[in-house]
A and B are shown apart, each in its own frame.
Chain A
């Protein structure tokens, strides 16, 4: 069982909607991540938070807005998305941000933009 919990598991939203994806971990990890995975492709890194501060933004469009309210929670706010943004969004965490750390993934949120 994964210790990174993501909600909702499935989300369908229109292009004018505002929605959020939520992620929670209680492993005491201080690094949290958002990845995007398209069908039959590997995950692609979007954002990294380290000690609740945004450390990496992989040139993600501003219609995706991450938020880290505390060390256990990570949100991804979605607004004015496009159909090509439909994908599996994976949250992950690791003890710290850095090399060699095992990254633990959640089961993902399936997003469909209509």
Chain B
């Protein structure tokens, strides 16, 4: 089984400041890692994902996340945030191997609400 811990339930920052949203996971098998964003009153959108290869992955809107296997972390960062980044961010994992009861399932963290102030 997998579990995901997002260490901060709320992160307030000022516009143009850097931000880091923390995510740690626990799993007995190798996993794929995802960050989803949910804007107010909307569904979830994939922000970025790590499947294999370079441990640093980037999104089209300036976010990046780095997979750290030894620390079982996948923290999300942005060097300069905008008001429009205000949303809830979910870290999620799914097992990378076929078979098992968790096959194909996403396990989400509890979410981090990012609020960007002017």
Shortest Cβ distance from residue A9 to the other chain B in the assembled complex, whole angstroms: 9
Q: Does A52 contact B (CB under 8 A)?
A: no
Dominant secondary structure at the B interface: loop
B43 adjacent to A107 (CB under 8 Å): yes
Q: Does B67 contact A (CB under 8 A)?
A: no
Q: Does B104 contact A (CB under 8 A)?
A: yes
B109 adjacent to A104 (CB under 8 Å): no
Interface stretch, picked from B18-26, B56-64, B71-79, B95-103, is B95-103
Q: Does B80 contact A (CB under 8 A)?
A: no
Shortest Cβ distance from residue A20 to the other chain B in the assembled complex, whole angstroms: 19
Q: Which residue of B lies closest to A90 (CB)?
A: B43
Interface stretch, picked from A11-19, A61-69, A74-82, A92-100, is A92-100
B46 adjacent to A100 (CB under 8 Å): no
A99 adjacent to B98 (CB under 8 Å): yes
Shortest Cβ distance from residue A105 to the other chain B in the assembled complex, whole angstroms: 4
**Distance, CA A48 to CA B105, complexed state (A):** 9
Q: Which residue of B lies closest to A88 (CB)?
A: B43
B32 adjacent to A99 (CB under 8 Å): yes
A residues with CB within 8 A of B: 2, 4, 6, 31, 40-43, 45, 48, 56, 90, 92, 97-108
B residues with CB within 8 A of A: 32, 34, 36, 42-46, 49, 51, 90, 94-98, 103-106, 108-111
